[in-house]
Amino acid sequence: MSPCPDTLAPSEAAVSHGAAPCVIVDTGHERYDIRIGRGLLDDPASWSGLPRAAQAVIVTNTTIAPLWAARLHAALAGIYARVTTVELPDGEEHKDWPALNQIFDHLLRGGCDRKTVLFALGGGVVGDMAGFAAGCYMRGVPFVQVPTTLLAQVDSSVGGKTAINHALGKNMIGLFYQPARVICDLATLDTLPQRELVAGLAEVIKYGPIADAVFLGWIEEHLDALLARDAGALAHAVRRSCEIKAEVVGQDEREGGLRAILNFGHTFGHAIEAGMGYGAWLHGEAVGCGMRMATDLSARLGLVPAATVDRMHRLLERAGLPVRAPALGAARYLELMGRDKKAEAGQVRFVVLEALGRAVVRAAPDELIAGVVEDAARV
């Protein structure tokens, strides 16, 4: 596999190099490639052309380390004179200051300089925290995303959003910091528990209603294959998801406008995560339920017909994602959503559908939101 060509624009979709397609993210001032295929951890070409340094640090967690850390260490040992690993505790509930400081402690005690390259090996939590640490350490060191979950491969590893959670809100402390490269080795999905795979499908499904109605139809047609981990279906789902996200990020890196559509279902979903306690619901599970609620809100705003709500409900249910929301009460939902990053002057703003394949950001009256969350708890 050769490096992605300089002439490829993000909207030109993926190009194939041997068996592995490559998608370009171009923000206008930073440019990197997403490499997608099986066996990429063992392919020397995956690591060629990365920033040179004396040291590399693998940031992973206690679940992923026994499965894949040795493979990545062996791949990097021929490139960097010293390769070390820091293992974080696993779980959304550990996406916090103490775990972040484990990374800083490791870097400082290891004498890592400003050229040290961090490799984020794991799911979204690892990627977010390693990226945050890389953006802060010595005011910025390079890092590479090596996502090992479906959710991370199609969403969180791409686009440079990094953060940790706060007790009062999810992802409220962080920064935009782009990786040097993203390596999506589809072989790492072989060890993914089925619940995590299903949670990742929520972020795959998201791209259909917000940006590509044809892709939504493809997901409906191939959902059984995706759930059965069919290699071809997963490869296409990851590639098309990355293409859509790369195009959106290329137009709006810092979420000033268009990029907000990528948060479809997330305002409701983040409220579920915070209200239930981080880790009780997986992020993708909360987003899946949140997408059903956001589609319902779209219908109540008069933007889409009730049939669209039914269609999304059926797809999410078929995927094994929750469609019934926890009964936190409308007042609690409104309180939690008021802390969302998309809120402006205290007014909550939601990603809603104008049609399948087209999303916008809108405010909504409290009484409509209350109706959505109350009905969602009774589905």
Same domain, 114 and 170: yes
Which one of the listed residues 161, 170, 181, 349 is annotated catalytic?
A: 161
At residue 169, the pLDDT reads 82
**Whether 223 contacts 174, CB under 8 Å:** no
Same domain, 241 and 221: yes
What's the whole-number average pLDDT of the chain? Answer: 92
d(CA 345, CA 356): 29
Which one of the listed residues 73, 94, 266, 341 is annotated catalytic?
A: 266
Residue 263 designated active-site? yes
Residue 92 designated active-site? no
Residue 61 designated active-site? no
In the listed set 160, 191, 222, which residue is the last one of a domain according to the structure? 191
Same domain, 21 and 86: yes
Q: Is residue 3 part of a domain?
A: no
Question: Could you tell me which of 106, 115, 162 has the C-alpha nearest to residue 142?
Answer: 115
Helix or strand holding residue 86 (H, E): strand 82-88
Which one of the listed residues 196, 203, 243, 253 is annotated catalytic?
A: 203
Residue 38 designated active-site? no
Same domain, 133 and 65: yes
Which one of the listed residues 270, 300, 342, 349 is annotated catalytic?
A: 270
Contacts of 53 (CB under 8 A, 6+ apart): 80, 113, 115, 116, 117, 142
Question: DSSP per residue over 295-356, as a string?
Answer: HHHHHHTTSS-HHHHHHHHHHHHHHT---SPP---HHHHHHHHTTSTT-BTTB-EEEEEEET
Same domain, 212 and 102: no
Q: Is residue 5 part of a domain?
A: no
Which residues in the chain show pLDDT less than 50? 1-3, 5-19
Residue 203 designated active-site? yes
Q: Is residue 226 part of a domain?
A: yes
Here the CATH number for the domain that contains residue 104 is 3.40.50.1970
Residue 94 designated active-site? no
Same domain, 252 and 356: yes
Residue 247 designated active-site? no
What one-letter code names the amino acid at 111? G
For 306, the domain range is: 195-376
Same domain, 216 and 108: no
In the chain, how many domains are there?
2
Q: Is residue 1 part of a domain?
A: no
Same domain, 172 and 245: no
In the listed set 191, 221, 248, which residue is the last one of a domain according to the structure? 191
Same domain, 285 and 351: yes
Here the CATH number for the domain that contains residue 356 is 1.20.1090.10
